[in-house]
Amino acid sequence: MSNATCYPQCLGSAASLVANTELIKTNLCQPLRQICDGTTVGTIFFAGALPEVNGIFTVTNSSSACTITIEVTDANGAAVAYTIPPQSSVAVAVDTLTNVTYTCTGPDPTAFCTGSFEA
């Protein structure tokens, strides 16, 4: 008996894609907390060695005074910035996501913004 008949093929392998293509849903929720100085950059998401990442994510700003600015970068290096006012959120649809970073700006540069990243 060969190994090919003993073990099932991994989802995503070339042979499995022919017959059984299946999307695997991954939920990610990450709290955000950053100083509101407008210069400190935090990384929310980095694809690294992951294969192509596509989907929708939401960033919520639960701060009362700080504004969150996110920068979304795709595999082509194109970056798009989104500004999220206090007590609001933004949903972003992405293809080939590689990186999401953020900064916070507010009237008190020693205060912290808070929120969440959900994908």
pLDDT digit string, tens, across residues 10-23: 344 444 444 444 55
Residues 62/115, Cβ–Cβ less than 8 Å: yes
pLDDT above 80 for 58 = yes
pLDDT for res 3:
42
Quick one: average pLDDT of 91-98? 91
pLDDT for res 89:
97
For the chain, list the domains and their CATH numbers. 34-118 (2.60.290)
E-strand stretches of the chain: 29-35, 42-46, 55-61, 67-74, 79-84, 88-94, 97-105, 112-118
Short-list 77, 23, 90, 16, CA closest to 54:
23
At CA 54, angle to CA 74 and CA 116, rounded to 5? 85
